[in-house]
Amino acid sequence: MPTMDIDITFMSDPGCTWGYSASPSLAALQWRYGERLTWRLVTIGIAEDAASYEERGYDRIMMSQRMEMFRQFGMPFTQGPRARVTGTGRGCRALHAVRLVAPGEELTAFRALQLGWFTTRMLMDEDASIATALARVPGLDVDAVMAVIDSPEVEQAYQADRAEARTAAGSPTAFQGKAANTDGELRYTAPSLIFRAGEASLEVGGFQPMEAYDVAVANLDPSGSRRPVPDDRPEEVLAAFPLGLTTQEVAEVMRTDIEQPVDRRAAAQSLLRAVGRGTVTVEPLGDDGLWSVT
């Protein structure tokens, strides 16, 4: 039986703490199945602007407290509050501008915006901060991206994504209680993944463990295979991720048995041995580090 390609509709928002905290599982999914997966990013637009959050009762202290709560999932965060609450609409538009200027780079850009959002105190609804974050994307013409962020093409694409993300009524995501209604329509939460292979589809909505993604792939294409985890050689893993990985992400990717817990300490030791070999570098990032091949 031939291996099937699997298309993933990836609904998320660069400013969502749940979406960011799912990064280890998403990295493991990308590593295990690689080119078999085709990703399409749909930006949710959780909060159009700062006022949208403030109307829901959020303030800068509460947002900082939420980051503290999410440390339990292992991703790095900055400490202390921003100068003010920030909306996510501008960042979502920036991703559509990236797609317009450099098609295929929007997932890397999404990652870069997340790192700006959660490991710095930059105001990520301001163009200067967005541009600074996007500068991480190799070869991206950031000036060209920012020049089209207010174009009709970007606005139309963004609004189409917002509308698509607000079609969760009656979905498996809603059934599991993982949809949300924050602006009058039931929407998918971040990250929600819809897997499709041929005529079949499976929905993994909201924050889920790696096992949920693995089950979806196994059911859609049981004839396929997983890419194995290299034995104590994180270099091969890191080479597959252009912006590097955090310690928790490496630990999840290098978990050889998904029935066993993630061993963050073992991953950190392996990464440090690679630094000692001169094959890996680490950039301080929030309260952790971002590991990359040299």
Q: What is the pLDDT of residue 223?
A: 86
Q: If residue 215 lies in a helix (H) or strand (E), which one and from where to where?
A: helix 210-220
Beta-carbon neighbour count of residue 100 at 10 Å? Answer: 17
Confidence of residue 8 (pLDDT cuts 50, 70, 90): very high
| CA dihedral for 119, 17, 39, 31, sign (positive or negative) | positive
Q: What is the pLDDT of residue 231?
A: 83
Percent of the chain, pLDDT > 90?
Answer: 89
Hunting for tokens 């031939």 — which residue is that? 2
**Does domain 234-293 sit in CATH 1.10.10?**
yes
Q: What is the pLDDT of residues 228-255, one digit of tens each?
A: 988 888 999 999 999 999 999 999 999 9
Confidence of residue 257 (pLDDT cuts 50, 70, 90): confident
Answer yes or no: are the C-beta atoms of 133 and 116 closer than 8 Å.
Answer: yes
Cite the residue boundaries of each domain of the chain with CATH code 3.40.30.10: 6-220
Q: Residue 8's beta-bridge partner residues?
A: 39, 195
Cite the residue boundaries of each domain of the chain with CATH code 1.10.10: 234-293
Alpha helices per DSSP H over 103-151? 106-119, 127-134, 142-147
Q: What is the pLDDT of residues 58-67, one digit of tens each?
A: 999 999 998 8
> Which amino acid type is present at position 41?
L
**Does domain 6-220 sit in CATH 3.40.50.720?**
no
